């Protein structure tokens, strides 16, 4: 159908309702700003639901929902356990909980009362639940944050053919989580937060089968071209993988790139070398976990314990195929440790763990996993075999040392040999039947007799019933059966390309025209074959490469059933008189001869003399059967042999002579074959001898190294003795330091008490923020400022922001951001809410430390309650405004004098009317110029009055009488005056300004 009619993610099939798209969003530090950017640009009609896992403090009542609701274009609600998920809504996980989704599109909240070692809610757990229930409809988004949370979940989503989106690290406030997800190699798109919402809508409406062209199939030449590109550049052949799986991976990459036609993608693949790596990584996504399917591993532990108990030596070799990130081989090591207990050191254990993904192998070697990877491990196993290391769990060294990781392609590279156990779980489901039938014989060849094979729950041994015996049907565990001589199976590295639908359509006319003729030919051929099978060569035996009988035809008197254990080997089931000649015929076949025979031999069969000849021919077959050998048995009575039917004595003698010559020639031929085999064996022994000599030299070198090591150990022992003496001195010094430390502790407690009292009296507190560990510390003064209980409230970045009220939250977050970029202006004044929801006015100041790369590393600051001072300032402003109003509306002349500067800074209208001075002119009369308004006598009096007011208190009035000179006049006007304090100095508390009120005197 045309491309514009192709179904997208939201389109339903079979008249079923559209499937709800659930997008998981994970964020941590800086996530609030990123979420606001995402949701403010989210389409209102996307038809999807967003479930947000934002790391939050467990003890703080989050305001996340309210803050996001203001910016979001769609509804934002706090998630409730078991609530149904609706489209075009955002669900925020509450603090101290983990959030998941269920199969029926409902919210699942998990609370944990125990001590946590990783942030909550867990982004990995959310993503893994979405991957499990939404499969290829799963979408995961990783936003700003520190740490690695979300990387494992993105892998699970990609494993189900979903989509992984990450905020551009340059756009994120903290790039830890985005970079970790990108480095995992499982990310499709890297976008700015403002672009993610629009891109989500594009993804769900983009055609899902973009790799399929208009005719319903991908062109075979295009598909082969993509497979050849992978083979050429990454040296991995995907031609024997299931095409549907490969097509889904290709389509997903095309969707990410918005490429509609497969031919265009092939061209893009050829022109962009990096794209081949993205496609290759998509092919290799594997989902694994510790003790995946616990019941299967319980069965394995039981069967493995029985196998080890019956094993004659103490060497154990395991092979974990397609180990991915290492959980499965480490599980095998843990199971071995549980089985052997204290005896584990008595065994030589090698667990080979292989995968074709180098990144997965590098990760697995570390043996470090997040807490979410251990969710389904029993607590006893977790405590016994894992150590907590920087909020992640690391396997103990005895377990890690048992596992050997390497890159290996099971489809191409030779197998490990002499193995006791092979686990290949959930790999062959991606292989074609042809490749499965190559892999299983290879496993059989690599395993020891009675070795164990463990497959995935959806896998089986297929047609190889004679090579494997089931031990546990539920656990998919099999035991290898030894069927004689073991030969390495042939490996097929290429396959025929299946025809597309179009190719088949082209062949149909040709097939139709030849149908009748082929039918007649087949019928006549069957008549001839049936007649030969009935009258000429009625007995036939079919052998495999191990010379085991896999099929017989006819009632063959030459076959016997030996006593003892049953075996299908031809030499144990054939008349012994024919064994030597049959071996000689086999030798000729192995040397390239297509047809060989044993010649006639005479012996008694069923109390009757007969002449017997075996005819051997090779048959080349594809697939698991490989090369076959067909044996026809020809049994003749003596009268049917021409030379023996005459009655003449000389003819009989001649026949006997000819028979003796034939037997002599055959004996010589057999002897020559034995000589050649001995020479070949001698060459092999010679080569082996050279290898043993080389090994002997290596052992000798190892012995010398051991002697050197022994000398080094002796030297180390001497150093240890010296170190012990130094340690003794260090102990004595440490005791002295402990005493000193106790004294310092007392001093520190005294200093803390003084600091606490000082902070209490100053109504302030101090705080410290370590950006490396994201740890925020408060002094006792901070807790008292906000009325918080130190035992209940735990400070964090999000909790700190949440203490601000209303619009000050975003302004406080912006101030902290500007501090980290050295762009902040200080002090920063904001309103805060205490525990009783009362508003206080706070002043914040801080100093930021930067490293050599100009990156902020830590912040130290203070918070001061300035509510009282601000209120006093407001009261003083009101007081001044009131005085100013009264002065401007009174008929009495008044002015305000700055006592320190001796400058009039304010006059009212009545003063201007009385004396004629403007405010500009009067302001210019500062310091000594002020006294030009008075005569000499009155100037001295005015100075005294000013001095007296400067030592008076508020409300105290100092009267006086003097003459003042008006403007543009030499006459003086006599006035009565009252002098009082107008304003006090904030620092000294002394009078700073004086109010003078004048009354004209007669």
Residue 52 phi/psi, 5-degree rounding, is -105, 130
DSSP E strands in 419-557: the ranges are: 419-424, 447-455, 468-472, 477-480, 539-543, 549-553
Q: Does residue 513 have an active-site annotation?
A: no
Lookup result for tokens 């539920």: 474
Question: Which position among 37, 55, 171, 261 bears the catalytic label?
Answer: 55
Residue identified by tokens 């299946």 is 498
Which of 581, 575, 586, 574 shows the shortest CA–CA distance to 670?
581
Q: Which residue has the tokens 């196993």?
A: 381
How far does Cα 640 stand from its chain's mean position?
79
Q: Are strands 163-167 and 139-142 parallel, antiparallel or unpaired?
A: parallel
Query: Which residues have a Cβ under 8 Å from the Cβ of 972 and sit 6 or more positions away?
Result: 935, 963, 964, 965, 966
Instruction: Round to whole Å and give the CA distance between 424 and 458.
Output: 12
Q: How far apart are CA 377 and CA 375, in angstroms?
A: 6
Q: List Cα–Cα distances, 481 to 187, 315, 473, 486, 561, in angstroms.
A: 45, 20, 17, 11, 20
Active site residue: 46, 57, 122, 149, which one? 149
378 to each of 117, 291, 382, 385, 509, how far by Cα in Å?
A: 17, 10, 6, 11, 64
Measure the CA–CA gap between 220 and 263, rounded to whole angstroms: 11
Cβ atoms of 111 and 138 within 8 Å: the answer is no
- Count CB neighbours of 162 within 10 A: 24
Strands 89-92 and 75-78: parallel
Q: Judge whether 443 and 624 are in contact, CB under 8 Å.
A: no
Nearest to 156, CA basis, from 318, 26, 299, 10: 26
Reply yes or no on whether 821 is catalytic: no
* Helices of type H across 206-312: 220-234, 243-257, 262-271, 273-283, 294-310
Pairing status of strand 403-407 against strand 348-355: parallel
Which residues lie below 8 Å from residue 269, measured CB to CB, with a gap of 6+?
226, 229, 275, 276, 279
Structure tokens belonging to residue 671:
């002897």
Cα-only R_g, the chain = 47
Residue 81 among the catalytic residues: no
Active site residues: 28, 55, 149
């Amino acid at each position: 159908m045309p491309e514009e009619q192709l179904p997208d993610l939201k389109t339903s099939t079979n008249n079923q309702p559209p499937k709800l798209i659930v997008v998981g969003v994970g964020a941590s530090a800086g996530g609030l700003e990123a979420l606001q950017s995402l949701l403010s640009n989210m389409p209102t009609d996307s038809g999807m639901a967003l479930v947000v896992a934002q790391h939050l403090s467990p003890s703080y009542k989050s305001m996340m929902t309210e803050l996001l609701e203001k910016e979001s274009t769609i509804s934002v609600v706090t998630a409730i356990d078991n609530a149904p998920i609706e489209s075009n809504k955002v669900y925020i996980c509450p603090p101290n909980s983990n959030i998941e989704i269920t199969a029926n599109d409902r919210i699942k909240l998990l609370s944990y009362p125990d001590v946590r070692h990783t942030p909550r809610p867990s982004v990995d757990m959310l993503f893994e639940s979405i991957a499990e229930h939404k499969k290829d409809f799963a979408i995961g988004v990783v936003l700003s944050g520190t740490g690695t949370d979300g990387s494992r979940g993105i892998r699970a989503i990609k494993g189900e053919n979903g989509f992984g989106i990450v905020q551009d690290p340059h756009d994120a406030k903290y790039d830890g989580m985005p970079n970790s997800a990108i480095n995992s190699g499982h990310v499709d798109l890297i976008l700015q937060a403002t672009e993610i919402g629009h891109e989500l809508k594009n993804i769900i409406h983009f055609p899902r089968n973009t790799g399929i062209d208009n005719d319903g199939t991908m062109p075979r030449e295009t598909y082969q071209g993509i497979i050849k590109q992978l083979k050429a550049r990454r040296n991995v052949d995907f031609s024997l993988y299931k095409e549907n799986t490969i097509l889904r991976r290709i389509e997903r990459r095309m969707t990410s790139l918005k490429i509609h036609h497969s031919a265009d993608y092939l061209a893009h693949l050829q022109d962009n070398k990096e794209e081949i790596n993205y496609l290759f990584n998509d092919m290799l996504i594997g989902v694994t976990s510790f003790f995946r399917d616990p019941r299967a591993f319980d069965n394995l532990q039981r069967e493995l314990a029985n196998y080890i108990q019956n094993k004659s030596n103490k060497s154990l070799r395991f092979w974990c195929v397609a180990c991915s990130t290492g959980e499965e081989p480490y599980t095998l090591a843990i199971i071995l440790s549980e089985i052997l207990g204290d005896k584990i050191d008595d065994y030589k254990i090698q667990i080979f763990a292989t995968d074709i993904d180098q990144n997965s192998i590098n990760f697995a070697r570390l043996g470090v996993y997040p807490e979410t990877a251990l969710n389904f491990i029993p607590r006893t196993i977790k405590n016994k075999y894992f150590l907590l290391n920087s909020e992640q769990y690391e396997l103990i060294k005895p377990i890690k040392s048992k596992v050997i990781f390497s890159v290996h392609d099971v489809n191409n590279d030779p197998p490990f040999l002499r193995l006791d156990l092979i686990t290949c779980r959930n790999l062959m489901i991606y292989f074609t039947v042809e490749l499965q039938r190559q892999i299983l014989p290879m496993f059989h060849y690599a395993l020891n007799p009675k070795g164990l094979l463990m497959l995935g729950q959806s896998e089986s041994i297929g047609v190889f019933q004679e090579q494997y015996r089931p031990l546990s049907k539920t656990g998919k565990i099999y035991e290898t059966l030894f069927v004689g001589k073991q030969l390495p199976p042939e490996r097929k590295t290429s396959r025929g390309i299946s025809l597309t639908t179009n190719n088949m359509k082209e062949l149909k006319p040709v097939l139709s025209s030849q149908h009748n003729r082929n039918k007649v030919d087949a019928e006549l051929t069957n008549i001839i074959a049936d007649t030969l099978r009935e009258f000429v060569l009625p007995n036939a035996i079919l052998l495999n490469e191990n010379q085991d009988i896999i099929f017989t035809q006819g009632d063959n008197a030459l076959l016997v059933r030996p006593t003892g254990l049953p075996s299908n080997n031809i030499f144990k089931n054939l008349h012994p008189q024919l064994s030597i000649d049959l071996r000689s015929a086999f030798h000729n076949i192995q040397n390239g001869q297509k047809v060989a025979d044993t010649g006639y031999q005479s012996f008694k069969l069923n109390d009757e003399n007969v002449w017997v000849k075996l005819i051997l021919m090779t048959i080349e077959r594809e697939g698991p059967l490989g090369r076959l050998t067909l044996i026809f048995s020809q049994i003749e009575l003596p009268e049917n042999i021409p030379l023996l039917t005459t009655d003449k004595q000389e003819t009989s003698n001649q026949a006997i002579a000819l028979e003796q010559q034939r037997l002599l020639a055959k004996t010589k031929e057999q002897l020559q074959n034995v000589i050649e085999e001995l020479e070949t064996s001698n060459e092999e022994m010679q080569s082996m001898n050279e290898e043993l000599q080389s090994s002997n030299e290596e052992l000798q070198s190892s012995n010398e190294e051991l002697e050197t090591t022994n000398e080094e150990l002796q030297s180390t022992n001497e150093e240890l003795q010296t170190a012990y003496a130094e340690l003794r001195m260090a102990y004595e010094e440490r005791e002295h330091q402990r005493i000193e430390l106790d004294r310092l502790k007392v001093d520190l407690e005294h200093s803390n008490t003084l600091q606490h009292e000082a902070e209490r009296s100053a109504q302030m507190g101090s705080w410290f923020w370590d950006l490396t560990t994201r740890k925020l510390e408060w002094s006792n003064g901070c807790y008292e400022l906000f009325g918080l209980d130190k035992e209940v409230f735990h400070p964090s970045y999000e909790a700190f922001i949440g203490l601000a009220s209303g619009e000050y939250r975003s302004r406080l977050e912006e101030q902290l951001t500007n501090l980290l970029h050295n762009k902040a202006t200080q002090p920063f004044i904001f309103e805060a809410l205490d525990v009783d929801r009362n508003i206080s006015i706070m002043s914040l100041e801080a100093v930021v430390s930067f490293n050599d790369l100009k990156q902020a590393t830590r912040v130290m600051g203070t918070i001061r309650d300035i509510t009282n001072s601000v209120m006093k300032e407001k009261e003083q402003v009101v007081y001044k405004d009131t005085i100013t109003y009264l002065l401007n509306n009174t008929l009495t002349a008044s002015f305000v004098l700055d006592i320190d500067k001796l400058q009039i800074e304010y006059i009212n209208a009545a003063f201007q009317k009385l004396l004629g001075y403007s405010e500009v002119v009067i302001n210019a009369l500062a310091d000594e110029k002020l006294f030009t308004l008075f005569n000499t006598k009155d100037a001295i009096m005015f100075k005294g009055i000013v001095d007296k007011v400067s030592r008076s208190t508020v409300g105290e009035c100092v009267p006086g009488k003097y003459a003042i000179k008006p403007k543009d006049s030499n006459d003086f006007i006599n006035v009565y005056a009252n002098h009082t304090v107008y304003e006090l100095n904030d620092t000294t508390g002394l009078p700073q300004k004086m109010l003078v009120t004048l009354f004209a005197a007669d």
